[in-house]
Amino acid sequence: MSDCIFCAIAAKDIHGRIVHETEHSLAFLDVNPLAPGHTLVVPKDHYARLDDLPEEISADLWRTVDELVPRVEAAVDADATNVGMNNGPAAGQEVEHVHVHIVPRFEGDGGSPIHAVGGTRPDLSDEELDDIEAAISN
Ligand code: 5GP
Ligand code: ZN
């Protein structure tokens, strides 16, 4: 997509601190890192949402994430990582090109667990839970 910043990095039209590349995926440092080593893993082609990815591209993306997590942790001597994505604008996705965040974490760094992304916690009845379970299962 012509006006997409991650497409431009993938095409090497603009500079990115690229740390790994596969046939379908690219990993580079986040320009505004939440922690040293904050890395983004993206498909080279433009897809907005996770469920837009063809199976082969998705498999390559998650394999790349899996491979990079220990490398990123080792590179910055992290104690742990948060790995996740904002999948859609309502979830906070600002760049509409699929990207997985690898955020290194350090003991006492003052950050939050991934549970902090939710809004007010719902108080769900057993019936509502039954409906949700069935809806996802189908
Ligand atoms: P989102 O909110 O869409 O999940 O996160 C987008 C991420 O992309 C942010 O963490 C932001 O710092 C990063 N980002 C935005 N523009 C650029 C850029 O031009 N280069 C790089 N390397 N990262 C970017
Ligand atoms: Zn793009």
Instruction: State pTM to two decimals.
Output: 0.96
By annotation, the residues acting in catalysis are 99
Per DSSP, 121 falls in state P
Q: What is the mean pLDDT of residues 19-32?
A: 98
Q: Residue with the nearest Cα to atom 24 of ligand 1? A: 31
Q: What is the mean pLDDT of residues 2-16?
A: 96
How far apart are the CA of 50 and the centre of ligand 2, in A? 13
Q: What is the pLDDT of residues 91-132, one digit of tens each?
A: 999 999 999 999 999 999 999 999 999 889 999 999 999 999
State how far the alpha carbon of 137 is from the alpha carbons of 67, 71, 80, 131, in Å. Answer: 30, 35, 32, 10
